[in-house]
Amino acid sequence: MASVGIIPNPASGKDIRRVVAQASVISNHEKVNIVNRMLVGLQATGVSKIQIMPDLYGIGFQAVQNLQKQNPELDSIVDILDLELSNSPLDSLRAAEIMQKNGVNCIIVLGGDGTTRVVSKGCGDVSLLPVSTGTNNVVPFFVEGTIAGLCAGYFAGLDKSQQHSLCMHSKRIEVWINDELADIALVDLVVNTGGFSGARAIWDSSELKQIAVARAAPTSIGLSAVIGMRSPISVDDEFGGLVNIDGASSNKKLISTPLGPGLINRIPVGDVEKMNPGKSYAVVDERPLIIALDGERELVLKEEDSAFLILKRNGPYIIDINQVMFRAVSSDYFVSQ
């Protein structure tokens, strides 16, 4: 019995980078259209159950309603979760926890790196298919909704061992404050000066103090590109990277970095230190500080706080769309008599 979850984040793609940069707006109306197409793809694969996170805009509800006239049987396989909404990232986390408990075979996530990070904290070992509707999209894929539905539907019908062999097992960076695990990042963890979070997104490089990455590519938008433009690190590499922005270095260079869509800053960067899994790396010794996780300010370090970072290989399983679809084709999955 193949079951798929869908978590559409109504807040993704709408932060302050629409004002300070040139990021596109992904409207909730467009997210409804994307979920419409995902449902068509999922139903074509014969999934038995589709669970959708509710939200105040009603993305999932509207998508089902749009398709019901031409496809009345859809209602029998789609459940909108019974979830008390907080209109915050907590909704995505709780939805992922419920879906994992309900035994879904994979979860489609509509959002950016930040949404995928939140969902990964609640999904356990359930594989994720992140679809880009955010600002920074290092982890999510730019994929058409119909294809995402077909991919997730085929994937959901495989057994667990086959599923994980068709995934990328992500790294993650843990931040520990006063010897307790405070939070995680899947792509980048950035330390900024300051004592309050304000707007969650980061776009001003003048306050940067330290950057740690689990992966970094010169083709990515966001703060991971600070390292990606100098020392790329792939999702398959066992290590991550760490750099102090204003520390002394004989090899400091100005790196032209795309911090956001249409926003390029030149940032002084020294040598990139390799982060080995399981080893502790100190957060810069300055207070107060703000720690941003995957592009969003989340944590405040006060005078009395101690903090360190650890790279782990226990991040979420991310579905490799190309590998899954070619596997489906090689087994004649889309061929009928």
- Given a cut of 90, is residue 64 above it in pLDDT? yes
Cα dihedral 132, 309, 124, 79 sign: negative
Are 140 and 194 contained in the same domain?
no
CATH code for position 30: 3.40.50.10330
- Given a cut of 80, is residue 13 above it in pLDDT? no
For residue 16, what pLDDT is reported?
47
Are 204 and 155 contained in the same domain?
no
Distances (CA, A) of 67 to 4, 12, 37, 58: 18, 24, 10, 14
Q: Confirm whether 266 is domain-assigned.
A: yes
Cα–Cα distance measured from residue 111 to residue 92, given in angstroms and rounded to the nearest whole number: 10
Are 30 and 138 contained in the same domain?
yes
Q: What is the mean pLDDT of the chain?
A: 90
> Which residue in 44, 62, 56 sits closest to 4, CA to CA?
44
Are 179 and 153 contained in the same domain?
no
For residue 23, what pLDDT is reported?
57
Q: Confirm whether 337 is domain-assigned.
A: no
Q: Confirm whether 336 is domain-assigned.
A: no
Are 285 and 223 contained in the same domain?
yes
- Given a cut of 80, is residue 246 above it in pLDDT? no
Are 37 and 101 contained in the same domain?
yes
Domains: count for the chain: 2
Q: Confirm whether 271 is domain-assigned.
A: yes
Are 161 and 192 contained in the same domain?
no
CATH code for position 248: 2.60.200.30
For residue 200, what pLDDT is reported?
55
Q: Confirm whether 335 is domain-assigned.
A: no
Question: What pTM did the predictor assign?
Answer: 0.92
Are 14 and 102 contained in the same domain?
yes
Are 238 and 284 contained in the same domain?
yes
- Given a cut of 50, is residue 19 above it in pLDDT? no
Q: Confirm whether 185 is domain-assigned.
A: yes
Exposed, middle or buried by CB within 10 Å (0-12, 13-18, 19+), for 171? buried
Domain span at 292: 172-312
> Which residue in 302, 269, 268 sits closest to 287, CA to CA?
302
Are 58 and 118 contained in the same domain?
yes
Are 15 and 157 contained in the same domain?
yes
Ranges 6-20, 52-66, 90-104, 193-207: which has the least confidence: 193-207
- Given a cut of 70, is residue 104 above it in pLDDT? yes
